[in-house]
Chains A and B, each alone.
Chain A
Amino acid sequence: MYEFIAFYIFAISTTILFMITVMSKNVLYAMTSLAAGMVMISGFFFLLGADFLGVVQLIAYVGAVMALYSFAMMFFDATRDIKEKHANPSLVFLLGGLMAVVFVIIFSAPIIGDNIEASYPIVEGIGNAQAVGMVLFTKYLVPFEVAAIMLLVAMIAGIILAGKKMDDSLTTTVIAKEPEDEILKESK
């Protein structure tokens, strides 16, 4: 019963919050509702028994990714509303609805297939974090190391891309200097 109530609370709130993210004209509102929706999504992971994944979602997504977005928003003008030109919005809603149908069919396809067996079954009696650690550091060790290298590369790329010409201001326009032409100076 509690699972039922919790699922519907989380489902309705994530749907509404992500609709705000997609539809809002203000960057600040969109980012705040996205962060709140990610907190709600970690609730699904706790409901599904994936405790460690829920904690990682809270720390990595809500803590790191959204903080990165909010720091990057200092570079952009976030208070102004975004003007967007929409060519034909009804086509977008039609395509989105079709995508929903297609994805429900795709996701419900593995339920029909019965002969799927768990390759790394969840062992009873030990915690989720321990089970995840044992599988992650034995069977998925190489992808784990590759992900670590990928994060390092992304960090260096982020520093180099964002750090270029950091002393130039982005929002305030620089007043044009006096012409330093030698001929103009002599004529005065």
Chain B
Amino acid sequence: MIGVSHYLILSGLLFSIGFMGVLRRKNLLMLFFATEVMLNAVNIAFAAIGNYYGDLSGQMFAFFIIAVAASEVAVGLGLLILLYKKYGSLDLDVISSMKG
């Protein structure tokens, strides 16, 4: 049957997909999407381990991760709109001002 290891392997796989997106993406909005993928992957791992030990702490941490993700999106999108007003683009190569 489906054990905790199945969920953890799936969670690791999804996290590495998100990590690959963070490394690969040059557009800031797409980088935000990749971080959402990573946060969701970690939520699965928390819920699976909480279920494995019969503990509610895993679900609690997943709740707080959802709260953190919601506030991250609120602030981050405000910053993205400001950046788009200033530079007219969300590409990291256009925005970056430090040469090196």
Interface residues of A (CB under 8 A from B): 3-4, 7, 11, 14-15, 18-19, 21-22, 27, 30-31, 34, 37-38, 41, 44-45, 47-50, 52-53, 56-57, 60-61, 64-65, 68-69, 72-73, 75-76, 82-86, 89, 92-93, 95-97, 99-100, 103-104, 107-108, 110-111, 116-122, 131-132, 135-136, 140, 143, 147, 150-151, 153-155, 157-162, 164-165, 168, 170
Alpha-carbon distance A4/B7, docked complex (angstroms) = 12
Alpha-carbon distance A47/B48, docked complex (angstroms) = 10
Q: From A30, which residue of chain B is reached at the shortest CB distance?
A: B33
Question: Do A104 and B55 have beta carbons less than 8 Å apart?
Answer: no
Question: Do B90 and A76 have beta carbons less than 8 Å apart?
Answer: yes
Given A3-B2, A96-B17, A120-B57, check contact A21 B70 (CB 8 Å).
Answer: no
Question: Do A158 and B78 have beta carbons less than 8 Å apart?
Answer: yes
A selection of 28 A-B contacts at a CB cut-off of 8 Å is A19-B17, A22-B21, A30-B30, A38-B36, A41-B43, A41-B44, A45-B43, A47-B2, A48-B7, A48-B48, A50-B50, A50-B59, A50-B62, A61-B40, A65-B36, A69-B32, A76-B84, A82-B27, A84-B25, A92-B23, A96-B19, A107-B9, A107-B11, A111-B52, A136-B60, A158-B75, A161-B79, A162-B82
Specify which chain B residues have a CB less than 8 angstroms from the CB of A50 in the assembled complex. Answer: 47, 50-51, 59, 62
Compute the total of residue contacts between A and B using a CB distance below 8 Å.
230
Question: Do B36 and A162 have beta carbons less than 8 Å apart?
Answer: no
Alpha-carbon distance A106/B93, docked complex (angstroms) = 34
Question: Do A53 and B19 have beta carbons less than 8 Å apart?
Answer: no
Q: From A159, which residue of chain B is reached at the shortest CB distance?
A: B78
A-B pairs, top 4 by smallest CB distance, nearest first, are A161-B78, A154-B71, A96-B20, A22-B21
Cβ 8 A contact of B59, one of A3, A34, A119, A132? A132
Cβ 8 A contact of B71, one of A22, A76, A151? A151
Cβ 8 A contact of B53, one of A4, A89, A116? A116
Q: Is B99 an interface residue (CB 8 A)?
A: no
Specify which chain A residues have a CB less than 8 angstroms from the CB of B6 in the assembled complex. Answer: 7, 11
Alpha-carbon distance A44/B69, docked complex (angstroms) = 19
Alpha-carbon distance A52/B50, docked complex (angstroms) = 14
Question: Do B2 and A162 have beta carbons less than 8 Å apart?
Answer: no
- Contacts A37-B37, A64-B70, A95-B23 known; list 10 others, CB within 8 Å: A22-B24, A84-B91, A96-B20, A99-B16, A104-B8, A110-B49, A132-B56, A135-B56, A151-B70, A154-B75
